[in-house]
Amino acid sequence: MNRRPFQLPLLLLIIFLLCSFPALASSSFHTKKDGASLAKDSLSERQISNLFAFAKAYGYVKYFYPLKKKDKINWSYIAADGASTVLKAEDDAALQQALQALFTPIAPLMSFSGSTASVTVSGKDIKQTRADLMEDAGKYYYNLHKGLGQDKAELPLLTRNLLGSRYKSSTEEVDRKNYLEMVKAGFLLPIDSLYTGQLTQELYCTFPITLTADAYNSNNAYKYLKRKYELNLSLHQDRLATIVIFWNVFQHFHPYLNQTSDWDAVFVQAMRGLSSSMSEREFVSAARKMIPPLRDGHAVLAYTNKSGIYNNRSTAPAISTGWVENKLVVTKVNVEGADLHPGDIIETINSTDATELVSQLRSQLSFANEQNGNLLAGERLLGSYLASDKTIHLVLSDSLGNKREVQFDGKAYHFKQKTAVPVISEVESGIYYLDASRITEKDIKNNLEVLKQAKGLVFDLRLRPTPAFTSKVLPYFIQNDLQTGNWMTPNYTFPDQKRVQYKKAGGWHIKPNSNYIEAKLAFLIGHSTFSYGETCAEIIDHYNLGTTVGWYTASTNGDMNFAAAGRLQVVWTGLKVLKRDGSPYHGVGIKPAIPVEPKILDVRAGKDTQLNAAVEYLKKM
């Protein structure tokens, strides 16, 4: 961790730090070795309450108090220092004093008190009132977040390039006329009004979200808070800071937070799970418990890497499993010599009941559609064991109900040689299967005459389709222009997701191809039809391009957003997506016209239950 001094005269440096950041004055920054003196082993309920109060105030200032050059301020430093400072407050009075000392140098018009009565918009040398509106030339400042554009500096370059300009955070300047119009529209608070946040049962925080030019320009906090500071996950106060930072990201900028039953309680539970003696790995595991309550299939907390995309996207697993007829079933064996077969029922893993393990893993996953929790857990469970490269012990049942025990070495196996599978294949006379996860326009052109003569076509959208599917493939199967659905960018000017305004985000227009293929169409969808796949499925469903067969989609769509804190990042759905009639899409998704669940007998026979159902449907057309 780099602790270079500020580029200020030594005396000024010492005075500023001792007055503004009492945690440094009392040497409360400890390494893991002596972290017990900071919080003993685990946090007390008083300390957790203090941390929650600090977290709320931190998010308010970081995102909604208008500050010059706020991107120059090291918010990680403020989070770590503040977290360690408030741990020592023994009651609300001491906490109020600590918070005021922490935030006055940054946000001088922020106040902490036991009530919201008789609080004015004034600081030590600054005051703003309605009289400031008398000058026509006056300028006013507020924060505008189109999604969340902050917290990107520590993301890898490739991730920042991926995000592009989709999400932006800025401090906006408006003249008197526009300011008054925005206040009238409810988009801003008047300059003499305060936003109030409750920090504890008896402690409140108040601050303006709009500043006059004098109040804004006189605040030069960025000059003193731009020190280099990197979060170190071996330090207890930096772990606390990480929770504070990520909790605030979701508190203010997750467009579906209303689907989380009690986000405040998530903070408390996360802090209860921490101790100063835990390893970094244990901390990351504890921090990840904040993610499942979000009910967002995009949501994840993980280490950053060179691409910035989370690390749990892997190649084909050695052994694929699925949740079939309420059992954990081997669906595919991709390695040589393993005594496992498709259709084998996994009864136990390392002596623990497989059904119980699926239930446990389900509780650790974030997903939007309740229909799909066990399906996701069933797919991922065995892979989580294999990733450890340890030998696992399985008890299996075969088709006759006979049980056998199998040891599988997570290190000593060899993948089978892959057999090339065509992108387009005839599954029954005149009926063709098209793999949307690999298809290109070239595949359509090479099979154009065959497809035009086909009785029916089955597109498989159960894995992520290629980008060419919407831009180059789908145009062969439509006769009118199509457009994507309701994608909305949340615009935030208030904390706590109050008065959010949603602006239409850019969509796609799809124009028909002159080589129209007139065939009966079926589309396979399921719990892995996700994100871009949902966009494809929604277009098909809305324009009635064919019949959907399979299972409920993941119900998660909209561009992802990313935020980093040190070596960790969080990912979530940044846009709000609605159905064409304005009703919710998230958590609802697309329900198949013909619901079909896989069967164990079909898995054993190497058959695809859902594909067979689609073929039978097309044969009857």
At 417, list the tokens. Answer: 């040689």
Cβ–Cβ under 8 Å, residues 572 and 254: yes
Cβ–Cβ under 8 Å, residues 491 and 582: no
What is the secondary structure of 301-340 as a DSSP string? EEE--SS-S-TT--S--SEEEEEETTEEEEEEE-BSS-S-
- Position 31 scores a pLDDT of 36
All domains of the chain in start order, with CATH: 10-152+165-293 (no CATH), 319-408 (2.30.42.10), 424-620 (3.90.226.10)
Report the pLDDT averaged over residues 316-345.
Answer: 92
Q: How far apart are CA 373 and CA 557, in angstroms?
A: 17
Cβ–Cβ under 8 Å, residues 51 and 240: yes
- Cα–Cα distances (Å) from 235 to 51, 239, 362, in that order, read 16, 6, 31
> Which tens digit of pLDDT belongs to each residue from 151-164?
999 999 888 888 88
AA letter at 148:
L
Cβ–Cβ under 8 Å, residues 432 and 451: yes
- Position 607 scores a pLDDT of 97
What is the secondary structure of 533-591 as a DSSP string? HHHHHHHHHHTT-SEEEES------S-EEEEEETTEEEEEE-SEEE-TTS-B-TTT---
- Position 35 scores a pLDDT of 37
Furthest CA-CA distance within the chain: 87
φ and ψ at residue 613, rounded to 5 degrees: -65, -40
pLDDT category of residue 411 using cuts at 50, 70 and 90? confident
What is the secondary structure of 194-263 as a DSSP string? -EEEEEETTEEEEE-SEEEHHHHHT--HHHHS-------TTSHHHHHHHHHHHHHHHHHH-TTGGGSS-H
Which residues are paired to 562 by β-bridges?
571
- Position 131 scores a pLDDT of 53
Asked whether the predicted pLDDT for residue 14 surpasses 50, the reply is no
pLDDT category of residue 571 using cuts at 50, 70 and 90? very high
Per cent of the chain over pLDDT 70 is 88
Report the pLDDT averaged over residues 549-568.
Answer: 96
More confident residue, 216 or 19: 216
- Position 5 scores a pLDDT of 33
Of 31-40, 210-219, 486-495, 562-571, the poorest mean pLDDT is in 31-40
What is the secondary structure of 506-546 as a DSSP string? P--EE---SS----EEEEEE-TT--THHHHHHHHHHHTT-S
- Cα–Cα distances (Å) from 569 to 57, 242, 346, in that order, read 22, 10, 34
Cβ–Cβ under 8 Å, residues 613 and 548: no
- Position 312 scores a pLDDT of 42
φ and ψ at residue 328, rounded to 5 degrees: -85, 120
- Position 96 scores a pLDDT of 97
Asked whether the predicted pLDDT for residue 21 surpasses 50, the reply is no
- Position 161 scores a pLDDT of 85
Cβ–Cβ under 8 Å, residues 497 and 252: yes
Cβ–Cβ under 8 Å, residues 236 and 276: yes
Report the pLDDT averaged over residues 432-451.
Answer: 97
> Which tens digit of pLDDT belongs to each residue from 487-525?
999 999 999 999 999 999 988 999 999 999 999 999 999
> For residue 192, what are the contacts with CB-CB under 8 A and spacing of at least 6?
121, 128, 129, 130
At 7, list the tokens. Answer: 């580029």
Q: How far apart are CA 241 and CA 253, in angstroms?
A: 18
Report the pLDDT averaged over residues 241-255.
Answer: 98
Asked whether the predicted pLDDT for residue 475 surpasses 90, the reply is yes
Asked whether the predicted pLDDT for residue 20 surpasses 60, the reply is no
> What pTM does this model have?
0.88
Average pLDDT, the chain: 88
Task: For CA atoms 507, 508, 509, 510, give the dihedral sign.
Answer: negative
- Position 315 scores a pLDDT of 58
pLDDT category of residue 32 using cuts at 50, 70 and 90? very low
Of 172-181, 299-308, 519-528, the poorest mean pLDDT is in 299-308
More confident residue, 133 or 504: 504
pLDDT category of residue 482 using cuts at 50, 70 and 90? very high
Cα Rg of the chain (Å, integer): 28
Report the pLDDT averaged over residues 32-51.
Answer: 70
- Position 3 scores a pLDDT of 34
Q: How far apart are CA 36 and CA 277, in angstroms?
A: 8
| DSSP label of 93 | H
> Which tens digit of pLDDT belongs to each residue from 56-109?
999 999 999 999 999 999 999 999 999 999 999 999 999 999 999 999 999 999
pLDDT category of residue 34 using cuts at 50, 70 and 90? very low
Report the pLDDT averaged over residues 376-405.
Answer: 89
pLDDT category of residue 318 using cuts at 50, 70 and 90? confident
